Chain A
Amino acid sequence: MSALVDLGPNASAAATPRRRPHPAARVSPLLGALCVGVIAIMLFPLLMCFSASIKTAQEASAVPPHYWPAALSVENYLKVFRYQAGLPVYLANSFAVAALTIALCVGLGTPAAYGLARFPVPAKELVFLVLLSGLMIPYQALLTPLYIMAASLGLANTYLGLAIVHTVVQLPFSIYLLRNSFEETPRELEEAGIVDGCNSVQLLRWIFLPAAAPALITVTLFAFITSWNEFLAALIFMNKETAFTVPIMLVGVRQGHFGAVDWGALQAGVIVSILPCLAIYLLLQRYYVSGFLSGAIK
């Protein structure tokens, strides 16, 4: 959880022992108790969801409900695993769409950001604005024409069709972040490469890409999370049972076979759907939080 400490320019100052207390820094038992209360409230839904997922199916649908399972069972997970086309199919769909989204965001975003950051492009800011137009126009409004287009190109229910929509959402952020990173790369590094006889492609490959590695990781992370979690476009574009992504599979799991909701299976499905995001958050928090800050405000 180190990343949440290093939030701003003052973070390094925090490490020096002589730093005065921050305006709002105050430690008291009351604040400590408040923190514990907040943690409890925030974790309660997730803990209960997990608890329900490891109950027996019968207990997960018990009225009134219990907080903790009386007996442990993997029954709910087995049900999700065997749901319709099978969980592996839905996981594969989600991962494939996310992988294509990452490839498109990095593949299109890197050269565009490089071109804007290191070349005297004519009408540079206009070009930049056009590339960022996806930030202004809500992608939700474009889903109707995009769907018509995908249908006429035979891209409905395909990984590429949905990945294109997710790239529309995520490409502006990718270009923005990478451009900043390329602009911050020291000129000396670039000049050393030029002296060595690198052409512009080689400069990108051997000088700029290594220097922009953190930004590339952040771009990849965000592309994955956006694609993995995206709901509306997946609901519209993937209308064939075998093409569902994981969030859309949950819609089906809830509907069940006979109208009654299978609560245990639904919560097991929720756990499966959030695990990759949780893993990323815990392992790569630094990149995630820094991306958040640079994308949202600066």
Chain B
Amino acid sequence: MNPSRSGYVGLLYAAPALLFVAVFVLYPLAQLFVTSLTNSSLLGGGEFIGWRNYLRAYRDATFWQALVFTCKYTLIITPILMILGYGLALLTLSANRLGKLTRAVVFLPVVIGLGSSSFLWFWLFDEQVGLVNKLLQDVHLIAHPIVWFVDANLGLAAVIASIVWKVVGFGMILFIAALQAIDAEVNEAALIDGASYWRRILHIALPLTSRAILLTTLVSAIGSMLAFDQFYVMTAGGPESQTFTSLYWIYQNSFIYFKLGYGATLSVILMAIILSGSTLQLLLMRRGRGT
């Protein structure tokens, strides 16, 4: 090894990035905790009020409602995304041209902005000019146009449809990669034993891709717990604050009501929830790298 290549030279190379992270990640993180103990306002001012914001969060019915709603959204959409993603992975796994084309088309919306796709679906689900109602009427599934965004459950259904369209390709691609990594010999042995297609899926593909399934589920669930764009654009939290997500309620407090201190408190709480998920993810990833 070159004598000049000491560890401190390496550290010097890493210094600018370390400085950036210190100033724009770690310092704001500390600042977040400090702000969460004050009644700071976006308009200025603010003094130390101890744990009062946390007590207030505990009694904030809208916050709890938003947290429950976010969990509900996550619990509904995650299985849909995983099952559809896995199904699409199996469907397009064969390397024929139609399969490849399907893969490319399903993955296409992943690259589009969530804001843009939400504006697209907000239009599609509009009760008057939207094509979802028109399509449903044309195939005689409904007789009259549905007013999607006046009902929390219908609004949620519309958002879920839009997000499934937008991100189902994410899981699909990861599952395809995991399925392709399965040793071909394992399958050949099963084929020789006369195992049927579905038995091979159930007893070979699913167990051998379980780590990928778990990781993708975690990544997807963490993303859903941080949902904002789609609800901001499509339901605007309505009707009657019923479709506020946790992050949306934080945004609302910090930047619409100017209550920065309280917004910081809610951010700390949300972050603690997310951190438990991402710690699990990191542990899984590190364990995977070691084997």
- Which residues of A are interface residues toward B (Cβ below 8 A)? 1, 4-5, 7-11, 13-14, 19-27, 31-32, 34-36, 38-39, 41-43, 45-46, 48-49, 52, 60-65, 67, 104, 107-109, 111-112, 114-116, 118-122, 127, 130-131, 133-138, 140-149, 164, 167-168, 171, 175, 194, 199-200, 225, 228-232, 235-236, 247, 250-251, 254, 261, 263, 266-267, 269-270, 273-274, 277-278, 280-281, 285, 288-289, 292-293, 296-298
Contact with A along B2-39 (1 / 0, CB 8 A): 10111111111110111011001111110110010000
Given contacts A38-B106, A171-B17, contact A14 B95 (CB under 8 A): yes
Contact with A along B176-211 (1 / 0, CB 8 A): 111111101011101100000100110011000000
| CB atoms of B25 and A277 under 8 A apart | no
Closest B residue to A294 by beta carbon equals B177
Give B137 Cβ to nearest chain A Cβ, in Å. 8
Residue in B27, B119, B180, B191 whose CB lies within 8 Å of A270? B119
Residue in A164, A171, A274 whose CB lies within 8 Å of B116? A274
- The B interface, classified by DSSP as helix, strand, loop or mixed, is helix
Residue in A5, A23, A144, A250 whose CB lies within 8 Å of B190? A23
| CB atoms of A293 and B12 under 8 A apart | no
* New A-B contacts (6) at CB < 8 Å, excluding given A31-B94, A119-B7, A121-B10: A20-B184, A20-B188, A63-B129, A65-B131, A118-B10, A168-B25
**Is B146 in the interface zone, CB < 8 Å from A?**
no
Residue in B25, B98, B113, B126 whose CB lies within 8 Å of A142? B25
Give CA–CA (A133, B103) in the complex, Å: 33
Comparing B50-58, B61-69, B247-255, the segment that makes contact with chain A is B247-255
**Is B226 in the interface zone, CB < 8 Å from A?**
yes
- B271 contacts which chain A residues (CB < 8 A)? 137-138, 141
- A140 contacts which chain B residues (CB < 8 A)? 226, 228, 247, 250, 267, 270
Residue in B16, B26, B101 whose CB lies within 8 Å of A111? B16
| CB atoms of B112 and A48 under 8 A apart | no
**Is B152 in the interface zone, CB < 8 Å from A?**
no
| CB atoms of A231 and B106 under 8 A apart | no
- The A interface, classified by DSSP as helix, strand, loop or mixed, is helix
- B120 contacts which chain A residues (CB < 8 A)? 45-46, 49, 267, 270
Give B221 Cβ to nearest chain A Cβ, in Å. 13
- B5 contacts which chain A residues (CB < 8 A)? 118-120, 200
| CB atoms of B13 and A266 under 8 A apart | no
- B177 contacts which chain A residues (CB < 8 A)? 7-8, 293, 297
What are 16 pairs between A and B in contact, CB < 8 Å?
A21-B191, A22-B184, A26-B197, A38-B88, A131-B21, A138-B270, A144-B32, A149-B27, A167-B24, A168-B24, A229-B113, A247-B113, A274-B116, A278-B108, A289-B173, A298-B289
Most buried by A among B13, B124, B255: B13
- B219 contacts which chain A residues (CB < 8 A)? 296
In the complex, the 10 A-B pairs of residues with the closest C-beta atoms, listed nearest first: A119-B10, A115-B13, A229-B113, A112-B17, A8-B180, A145-B28, A247-B115, A145-B31, A115-B10, A23-B187
Given contacts A171-B20, A236-B251, A288-B111, contact A137 B29 (CB under 8 A): yes
Give A146 Cβ to nearest chain B Cβ, in Å. 5
| CB atoms of A145 and B123 under 8 A apart | no
**Is B81 in the interface zone, CB < 8 Å from A?**
no
**Is B238 in the interface zone, CB < 8 Å from A?**
no
Give CA–CA (A164, B247) in the complex, Å: 21
| CB atoms of A7 and B113 under 8 A apart | no
Closest B residue to A174 by beta carbon equals B17
Give CA–CA (A35, B91) in the complex, Å: 7
